[in-house]
């Protein structure tokens, strides 16, 4: 081959390589950040933020997510019935012959709740509905007129507590039926429903065309893949329990964690509560005392599954810090952050490397 041909071939190879590189650069996907919110499910505002290649992709994925949230809300609702569905309300109030066939997601959440009950020593009990209803009525009355605030009668609470045996919820997986053998037992999924539904939606989104997302379901956070703007993680804030009272700009946060592909769920005394004779009574009840606890201001659970995080945050909130920490330390893939009554922030070792207060940052890739 002559010198000219060698140079021509070399030039051609370089030219082709440049074309390939330019083509690769042109093919690099561009992602933009979008946000949407909706209300009407699980008694909260749900916000979804995500990075998508187009607004059309974002709208399609979030429209399907919203529809799923609404479907799960109808299934897990224990205060309203809906045409054509045997939901929690129907299970609790139906005069029809039992057992009742229920949708598979409802069957699965009840089954899961029964299976997890021994792990948390009964601190999470979906059969506590009759007790919860008495406290719900008291809180609703106080919200309507604070001067009429009252505490549920302890004798009524004790009588209701006689009907909270989770073994009286009998399941038939082959036929997807639920049979409540104690007619006075009432199921309440409030300590798990929102997180469980959020996880189901997140799993749908992780299979979609938008896997980089941040779901905030009223404080129940589910993170997808890392943000597509160069950051390695999403930043998740842990609220100051007194923030609603004392907050000014950027002062109502106690901590920021940098994370992705995980759930962050908080239980605390500062959202649903009422005041009676100068004392705050929140909505999280101890199955042992039938009263709200006052061991801490909040606990945040960090683990992959949002339903698991939701129920664990309730169970850990209901016990003293030392007992809760021992439980969390015994579990695989679970971390926690506590805000104690004296406003000290405590956390498990495995989450410290993500905490901003301990030096963690969120650099670009």
* Out of 75-89, 91-105, 195-209, 315-329, least confident range: 91-105
Stretch 80-107: mean pLDDT: 92
Superfamily grouping for domain 32-76+191-358: ApbE-like domains (3.10.520.10)
> What per-residue confidence (pLDDT) applies to 243?
81
Spell out the domain ranges in the chain: 32-76+191-358, 88-180
Task: Give the class (CATH, top level) of 88-180.
Answer: mainly alpha
Task: Name which of 339, 196, 332 is nearest 266 in CA terms.
Answer: 339
- How much is the CA Rg of the chain, to the nearest whole Å? 25
Distances (CA, A) of 113 to 117, 274, 311: 6, 28, 9
- The pLDDT tens digits of the residues spanning 214-237 come to 999 998 999 999 999 999 999 999
Helix (H, G, I), strand (E, B) or coil at 326: helix
- The pLDDT tens digits of the residues spanning 38-81 come to 999 999 999 999 999 999 999 999 999 999 999 999 999 999 99
Indicate the pTM of the whole model.
0.90
- The continuous run of DSSP H or E covering 309 comes out as helix 306-317
Mode of pairing for the β-strands spanning 279-282 and 273-276: antiparallel
Instruction: Check if the beta carbon of residue 133 is closer than 8 Å to that of residue 228.
Output: no
Helix (H, G, I), strand (E, B) or coil at 110: helix
The residue written with tokens 């946060």 in the block is 253
Q: Is the pLDDT of residue 5 over 50?
A: no
* Out of 93-102, 252-261, 295-304, 320-329, least confident range: 93-102
Q: Residue 56, Cβ neighbours under 10 Å: how many? A: 10
- The continuous run of DSSP H or E covering 302 comes out as strand 298-303
């Amino acid at each position: 081959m002559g010198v000219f041909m060698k140079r021509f071939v070399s030039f051609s190879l370089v030219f082709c390589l440049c074309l390939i590189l330019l083509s690769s650069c042109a093919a690099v996907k561009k992602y933009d950040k979008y946000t949407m919110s909706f209300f009407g499910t699980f008694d909260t505002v749900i916000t979804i933020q995500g990075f998508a290649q187009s607004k059309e992709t974002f709208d399609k994925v979030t429209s399907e997510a919203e529809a799923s949230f609404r479907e799960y809300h109808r299934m897990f609702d224990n205060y309203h019935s809906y045409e054509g569905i045997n939901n929690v309300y129907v299970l609790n109030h139906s005069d029809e012959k039992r057992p009742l066939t229920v949708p598979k997601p409802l069957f699965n959440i009840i089954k899961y709740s029964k299976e997890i009950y021994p792990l948390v020593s009964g601190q999470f009990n979906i059969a506590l509905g009759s007790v919860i209803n008495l406290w719900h009525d008291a809180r609703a009355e106080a919200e309507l007129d604070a001067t009429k605030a009252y505490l549920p009668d302890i004798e009524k609470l004790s009588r209701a507590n006689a009907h909270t045996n989770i073994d009286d919820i009998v399941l038939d997986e082959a036929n997807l039926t639920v049979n409540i053998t104690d007619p006075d037992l009432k199921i309440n999924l409030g300590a798990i429903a929102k997180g469980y539904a959020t996880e189901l939606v997140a799993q749908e989104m992780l299979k979609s065309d938008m896997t980089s997302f941040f779901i905030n379901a009223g404080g129940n956070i589910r993170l997808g893949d890392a943000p597509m703007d160069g950051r390695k993680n999403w930043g998740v804030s842990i609220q100051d329990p007194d923030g609603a009272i004392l907050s000014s700009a950027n002062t109502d946060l106690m901590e920021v964690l940098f994370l992705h592909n995980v759930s962050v769920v908080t239980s605390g005394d500062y959202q649903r509560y009422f005041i009676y004779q100068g004392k705050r009574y929140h909505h999280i009840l101890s199955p042992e005392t039938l009263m709200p606890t006052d061991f801490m201001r909040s606990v945040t659970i960090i683990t992959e599954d949002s339903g698991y995080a939701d129920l664990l945050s309730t169970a850990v909130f209901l016990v003293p810090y030392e007992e809760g920490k021992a439980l969390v330390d015994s579990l695989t893939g679970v971390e926690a952050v506590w805000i104690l009554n004296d406003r000290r922030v405590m956390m498990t070792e495995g989450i410290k490397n993500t905490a901003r207060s301990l030096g963690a940052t969120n650099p670009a890739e």
